[in-house]
Structure 1
């Protein structure tokens, strides 16, 4: 999978790794586990995803630092938002001890953009809040996260929905693909386009085969 967005989002967890000959073991463990979690989650393997996430969270908790654990939780929140799941209880429980930038990113993911300090967000998401949409988000996972945030904020366009569907499809990410196809189908139904809705339904059934 494309790990660019994951690497950026986990920057606080991995802070300082590049400047040291050998990063602490907990950082390596957390990074590897977060990669495993994200890959399993996007492909629809919930059991593997939960096991990898638990390993990442334990590694971060070994530091005794709330901000490190909060960052791990934010990685999970972002991956969930890519598949239109906005529940983020793990971070909510740590929000009061998280950094201002972490709280801003959590608000972004949840579509709470009023008064949001866009400068605190990861660089590729700042233009999204400014009104540029997802056009400038090159990373596939970052694009899906941005689209999910736009949907929650009520700012998503029909073109964005199509881009999210095709991005998930091109990556072979089953979970977000099904979520975004569901949005596409409902939009077609609301518009009275039964032919388009039926075509989307066939794609949904195809994705669900052999499971």
Structure 2
């Protein structure tokens, strides 16, 4: 078995194995595998960095390469990865690209799609990738054992959907996104923390969070050099 989309890219751990595995046709992967792998790497990275234009260009390229195989399961992998990055960034909506393929998807893929929406059943949990299986079973306590940053953010996003994201989970998500330089999820999680500060009447914390968001958005950068 070979991971055909993300290879060794750091953010790929969250979808390794069950989502992005397919039988290799030989020692040298065909061109479509290499093209799809590179395109999905670039698409996910661009999305997390906040570059929507590059993200969509690369996603379209990956879709085109995968569609050449006529295999719904491979195309479903890409759609799930596309949506997982969004859940990590708190875009909590149905995975439309996957839903169009659901009838021909594998049980593991359907379980993962339901997990992304915070709707995984007890029967779904054994079908999830290891990191998310732990998060689905143990909740917030599983996040500290996750080495992969996208796994952490994804699990935190699902916890938020299901009402189980404590202040510590939110703080960890912010720290994780900040360390990676992932602007989109950082702003999303800072927004959650800001909302809670405002609801709690903590004006000082809210003002500090607004300043941090302005920095992340690049609004406080000097426009002219001395």
- Decide which moves more: 175-184 or 200-209: 200-209
**Residues 159-204 of structure 1: per-residue CA shift (max 9 Å, x gap):** 0000000110111101111000000101111111111111111101
Change beyond 3 A, Cα 1:194–1:166: same
Partners of 2:65 and 2:78 in 1: CA distance: 10
C-alpha displacement of 1:8 = 5.4
**Paired residues of 2:16 and 2:129 also in contact (CA < 8 A):** no
Say which of 55, 59, 74 aligns to 2:61: 55
Say which of 203, 208, 211 aligns to 2:217: 208
**Paired residues of 2:14 and 2:131 also in contact (CA < 8 A):** no
Q: Which runs of 4+ in 1 moved over 2 A?
A: 2-5, 10-17, 113-116
TM-score normalized with structure 1 length: 0.92
Partners of 1:156 and 1:116 in 2: CA distance: 23
Q: Structure 2: which 5+ residue stretches go unaligned?
A: 1-7, 222-226
- Decide which moves more: 45-54 or 199-208: 199-208
Larger radius of gyration: 2
2:111 aligned with 1:104: yes
C-alpha displacement of 1:13 = 4.1
1:15-30 counterparts in 2 under 5 A? 15-17=22-24, 20-30=26-36
Say which of 12, 19, 38 aligns to 2:44: 38
**Paired residues of 1:13 and 1:60 also in contact (CA < 8 A):** no
TM-score normalized with structure 2 length: 0.86
2:147 aligned with 1:141: no
**Paired residues of 1:14 and 1:27 also in contact (CA < 8 A):** no
2:80 aligned with 1:71: no
Partners of 1:8 and 1:206 in 2: CA distance: 29
Q: Structure 1: which 5+ residue stretches go unaligned?
A: none
**Paired residues of 2:89 and 2:157 also in contact (CA < 8 A):** yes
Partners of 1:25 and 1:116 in 2: CA distance: 37
Say which of 115, 119, 140 aligns to 2:122: 115
Say which of 183, 201, 206 aligns to 1:197: 206
**Paired residues of 1:125 and 1:137 also in contact (CA < 8 A):** no
Q: Number of paired residues? A: 209
What is the SS of the residue equivalent to 2:145? coil
